[in-house]
Amino acid sequence: MNKGITLAGPNEKSASGWVNGFIGVVIFSGSLPATKLAVIEFDPVFLTMARAAIAGLLALAGLLTFREKLPTRQQLLPLIIAALGVVIGFPLLSALALQYISSAHGIIFIGLLPLATAIFAVLRGGERPKPAFWLFSIIGSSFVIGFAIAQGVKASPVGDILMLLAVIACGLGYAEGAKLSKVMGGWQVICWALVLSLPVTLPLLFILLPASFDGIGAPAWMGLIYVTLFSMLIGFIFWYRGLAQGGIAAVAQLQLLQPFFGLALAAGILNEKVSPGMIGITIGVILCVAGSKKFAK
């Protein structure tokens, strides 16, 4: 057997990373609309604890079923940082923000998430993208932000500050979790992050439990189910794996497409109109993602 034929490995791994990252972005695209549906009738702090605690119990069952090894002492701090970012930070801050702003307005800040993740990939992950990468990343973020502003969505200073903090927390959690995924595996990282959060999320879930669920409509329950199963657990299995395989800074640029997936879902399910401008901006964003991928390393 010729041991020298190994060039296909890294390329296949990188391609797999982009596929997994793409699946994660598609799943995450429904997170803000689902959260908005849920916070109409659920308290945002209760919603955050409920989604994290239920997902945490499912994660614990998965770890026990597959007899996964306990994290090492060196892995505990990065896991806690990841948990603070994506299990508590982003869900709580975005849920609070959506009491003041629409989910459409959140598009402005989701457009900043790839850039935030790339910055933390440099600070925490040790990645060093080429200067052209930052140019494509900034242009792509500008496309998304410009499109959202052009929609004329109503702004709120409190909501904007909360969403900005949510993006910072999420970017850190993405980068920290992706770095760990290289040695632990993608699903193991999010599962351990959720399990480590259980001593906080589970007691608070019962403390904040409403006296009655009478009057809670089906849309709110559907929102809770979606953010618990998909946004909090299933999406991260693909996302962390993708970031670890394809590079944190590079694959993170796929998030530029997330707002447009959400709009496409709205057009298909709610029969909302898709404008030619939206199609044009989407093409521009896709080109920026391709450029970012080329110059990521």
Q: Is residue 22 part of a domain?
A: no
Q: Is residue 224 part of a domain?
A: yes
Q: Is residue 23 part of a domain?
A: no
Q: How far is CA 37 from the centre of its chain?
A: 18
Locate 10 and state its tokens.
């890294």
62 — pLDDT class (breaks 50, 70, 90): very high
Give me the domain span that covers residue 287: 29-209+218-294
- What is the pLDDT, as a whole number, of residue 8? 41
270 — pLDDT class (breaks 50, 70, 90): very low
Q: Is residue 92 part of a domain?
A: yes
SS3 225: helix
Domain count along the chain: 1
Closest CA to 47 of 57, 55, 35: 35
Q: Is residue 20 part of a domain?
A: no
39, HSE (Cβ side, Cα atoms, 13 Å) = 24
Angle at 287 between CA 125 and CA 140, to 5 degrees: 60
Q: Is residue 5 part of a domain?
A: no
Exposed, middle or buried: residue 216 (CB in 10 Å: 0-12, 13-18, 19+)?
Answer: middle
- Using one digit for the tens of pLDDT, what is the confidence trace for 140-182? 888 877 776 776 655 678 888 898 899 999 999 999 999 999 9
Mean pLDDT across 36-61: 95
- Using one digit for the tens of pLDDT, what is the confidence trace for 272-284? 455 676 667 767 7
Locate 207 and state its tokens.
């403390």
Weakest-pLDDT range from 42-56, 64-78, 197-211, 269-283? 269-283
Sign of the dihedral through C-alpha 137, 140, 142, 144? negative
Closest CA to 243 of 28, 16, 32: 16
End-to-end CA distance of the chain: 31
Q: Are 196 and 83 in contact (CB under 8 A)?
A: yes
Q: Indicate the pTM of the whole model.
A: 0.85
- What is the pLDDT, as a whole number, of residue 266? 55
Mean pLDDT across 120-130: 86
6 — pLDDT class (breaks 50, 70, 90): very low
- Using one digit for the tens of pLDDT, what is the confidence trace for 95-113? 999 898 877 677 667 778 8
Mean pLDDT across 212-216: 92
